[in-house]
Structure 1
C-alpha cells in the first residue's frame, strides 16, 4: 500500500510519524518536495530514526519557506505532473506543510494529493486548537473526494480532543503518539503500532 502523510500545519510532526511508521513496518519513504535544505532535511531524519529505504527528493530548495516561495527564489516552478513516485508497493509519501500550501501559482498540496490518487493519513497535534485545524483539514479532503484513512495524533495524550475529532470529523483516530524524548530510534521502537494501524497496513495495495 502507498500512503500519503499530510498534516494540519507545518512542524506538526509528519516526519516523526513517517519515521515511526517506516520503523515499525519496513515501508520505504519519499518526500517529493523539500524546502529548507540549508538545515537538516526530513529524509535524513527518517534514515536516522527508521533505517528504511529513502528515495531522493524531486524538488529541493534551500529556503525554509512555502514551496511556491522557495522555488521562486531559485527561479524554478514546481510542476506536479512531472513528479513520479518510486515504484515501491509499500511506500510512505510525506507532504510539505499543510493541505492548502501553494506549490505554484495554480496548485496547492491538496491538488498534488488528488493527482497521485493514493489514500491519506492526516497528522494532527493533540493540543489546544487541534479540533478546528483537524476538522477543517478533514473537510477539505472530503470536498475533494480524497480517501482519508484516519488521523494520527501527535503530542501529549488528550482523550477529549481525540473523541471530538472522531465524533465531529466522522473519522478514526488511528493512533496517539506521545511526546518522545530523547528522539531516538530506540525510543521510537518502544511505541508499537495500534491494532487499527496493523489492520490498515495489512490490506492489499
Structure 2
C-alpha cells in the first residue's frame, strides 16, 4: 500500500495548500487519499483544512484533524508560546508513524526551517518521519533561488525528495524556472498549475484539477507504490 507523503514548501504562502487541494480534488476519491496538516497556525485568519474541504466539498472522512490548532498567524513555536503551550515533536512523529502506511498527504507549516519549537526545526520532523517529499514552489520571481535552497537543504540531509511542483500565476518565467531548477536541483520537475481565473464551485474546481493538475501523472506515479495502477 502507498505510504503517506510530505508536502514541503519553499516558504510561507507559496502554494502548498493550493497544491494539496488540487491533489485531493483529482485523486482523493479515486485512490482514497486523505489530507492532514498536523500543525495548523493562523486560525484567526484561515484554516487550511476547512478551506480544502469547502473548495472540494468532500466529507470529513477525507480529512484528518490537526494535532495542534493555534490561532496566532506565526511559526508554530511562537504561535504555541502565545497559547501558553509548546509543540511536542515526539507526539507529531508518533501520529505520523501511525498513518505512514495509509494514503495521506501531509502538509507542513511554512518552509522547512520554520521552528516547531525553539530548538526543533521543520526539516528535522520531515527527516525523522522518513517520508517521501514533494517540494512546492511559487511560479513567481525568486522561485529558482528559493526552490534550489530548499532542495539542497533537504537532499544534503538525505531526505528523499521525489520532485518539485510549481503553482501560482502564469507568467513568462514558468517554463524556464522549471527547466533550470530541474537541471540544477537534482530532482525532476513534476509540473505547474496556475490559479483559476475566477472563483469556482466545488464541481468546477474538481473539473479544473482534473484538466490542469499533474497532467503527465508525474505526481501520482511517484506517490503510488511500484506496480500499483494509477492511470488517471
TM-score in same-fold range (> 0.5) = yes
Aligned to 1:4: 6
Aligned to 1:54: 63
Question: C-alpha deviations, 1:50-107, integer Å up to 9, x for none?
Answer: 3261111101111001111110011111111112136361100000000001111210
Which ranges of 4 or more aligned residues in structure 1 deviate by more than 4 Å?
A: none
Indicate the structure with greater helix content.
2
Aligned to 1:133: 146
- Tell whether 2:118 aligns with 1:105: yes
Of residues 12, 21, 33, the one that matches 2:39 is 33
Distance 2:125 2:116 in 1: 9
1:174 deviation in Å? Answer: 0.5
Contact 2:5 2:223 in 1 (8 A): no
- RMSD, aligned CA: 1.7
Distance 2:164 2:69 in 1: 27
- Tell whether 2:163 aligns with 1:163: no
Structure 2, unmatched stretches of 5+, are: none
Structure 1, unmatched stretches of 5+, are: none
1:127 deviation in Å? Answer: 1.6
Contact 2:43 2:72 in 1 (8 A): yes
What is the TM-score normalised by the length of structure 2? Answer: 0.83
Aligned to 1:70: 79
Contact 2:22 2:213 in 1 (8 A): no
Of residues 197, 200, 205, the one that matches 2:222 is 200
Distance 1:37-1:4 versus aligned 2 partners, 3 A rule = same
Aligned to 1:122: 135
Q: How many residues align?
A: 205
